[in-house]
């Protein structure tokens, strides 16, 4: 299997293990009902995933994530405190566009890798994950998901129409995106797809 390498990969491959466990603290003023089983976690998403481990390790049936698409227009900031001189230079800085930030794809991959590893651990053996993305990082996320989940556990990529051609205004681009993508991976071969019966009545 081909393996994708990028600046900082060696520092983040095991970063999910280095992230300290944090306790979840109930905020009564933001809570609704005494017996609700729902959670909204406010905080860094990597620390939040690690905080969920004692409660949900290997228990989640379905995960959907919508990470930054890394278009250069989002203004997302690399904040993971990875013990690496290369990566420490990125801390707290807004990730820029293609021409102004030549490491933006490396930063994105370093941000995504440990999160995907933790998400895999949260899944049940028969669980699945869906990942929304556009063409900016489609091939990069496919490579790292193949590495983390295994090529055999890739199920499909859905094409999602997000714009209608007749609504696109003429601008400075020759081509306009009308679709995004939704990747689907299973944790293991224990996953059994939903089957629907055809109603012949």
Neighbours of 70 (CB within 10 A): 25
Q: Which two tokens stand for residue 29?
A: 């003023």
pLDDT tens by residue, the chain, 201 residues: 788 999 999 999 999 999 999 888 888 888 887 777 788 888 899 999 999 999 999 999 999 999 999 988 888 999 999 999 989 999 999 998 888 899 999 999 999 999 999 999 999 999 999 999 999 999 999 999 999 999 999 999 999 988 755 555 555 555 667 889 999 999 999 988 866 666 665
Which tokens go with 74?
A: 């989002």
Determine the pLDDT at residue 200: 64
> Using alpha carbons only, what angle is made at residue 32 by residues 35 and 41, rounded to the nearest 5 degrees?
95
The Cα–Cα gap between 135 and 53 comes to 31
**What's the pLDDT at 193?**
81
The C-alpha atoms of residue 137 and residue 70 are separated, in whole angstroms, by 7
Report pLDDT for 31: 82
The pLDDT value recorded for residue 11 is 96
> Is there a contact between 74 and 2 (Cβ–Cβ < 8 Å)?
no
- To the question of pTM greater than 0.95 for the whole model, the response is no
Q: How far apart are CA 200 and CA 177, in angstroms?
A: 39
Instruction: Kindly give, in sequence order, each residue whose CB lies less than 8 Å from that of residue 166, ignoring residues fewer than 6 positions away.
Output: none
Which helix (H) or strand (E) covers residue 104, if one does?
Answer: helix 104-122
CA–CA distance, 137 with 116 (Å, rounded to integer): 14
Residue 177 CA to its chain's centroid (Å): 21
pLDDT at 173 (0 to 100): 57
Contact in structure between 126 and 188 (CB atoms under 8 Å): yes
CA-CA distance, 182 to 83, in Å (whole number)? 32
Count other Cβ atoms within 10 Å, centred on residue 35. Answer: 4
* Nearest-angstrom CA–CA distance, 1 and 138: 18
């Amino acid at each position: 299997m081909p393996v994708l390498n990028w600046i900082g990969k060696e520092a983040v491959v095991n970063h999910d293990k280095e992230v300290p466990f944090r306790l979840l603290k109930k905020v009564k003023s933001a809570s609704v009902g005494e017996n609700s089983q729902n959670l909204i976690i406010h905080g860094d998403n990597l620390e939040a995933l690690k905080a969920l481990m004692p409660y949900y390790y290997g228990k989640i049936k379905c995960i959907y994530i919508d990470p930054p698409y890394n278009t250069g227009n989002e203004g997302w900031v690399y904040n993971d405190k990875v013990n690496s001189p290369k990566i420490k230079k990125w801390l707290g800085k807004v990730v820029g566009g293609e021409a102004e930030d030549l490491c933006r794809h490396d930063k994105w991959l370093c941000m995504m890798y440990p999160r995907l590893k933790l998400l895999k651990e949260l899944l049940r053996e028969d669980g699945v994950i869906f990942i929304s993305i556009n063409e900016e990082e489609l091939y990069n996320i496919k490579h790292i998901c193949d590495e983390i989940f295994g090529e055999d556990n890739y199920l499909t990529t859905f094409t999602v129409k997000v714009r209608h051609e007749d609504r696109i205004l003429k601008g400075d681009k020759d081509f306009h995106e009308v679709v995004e993508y939704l990747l689907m991976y299973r944790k293991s071969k224990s996953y059994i797809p939903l089957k629907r019966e055809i109603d012949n009545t």
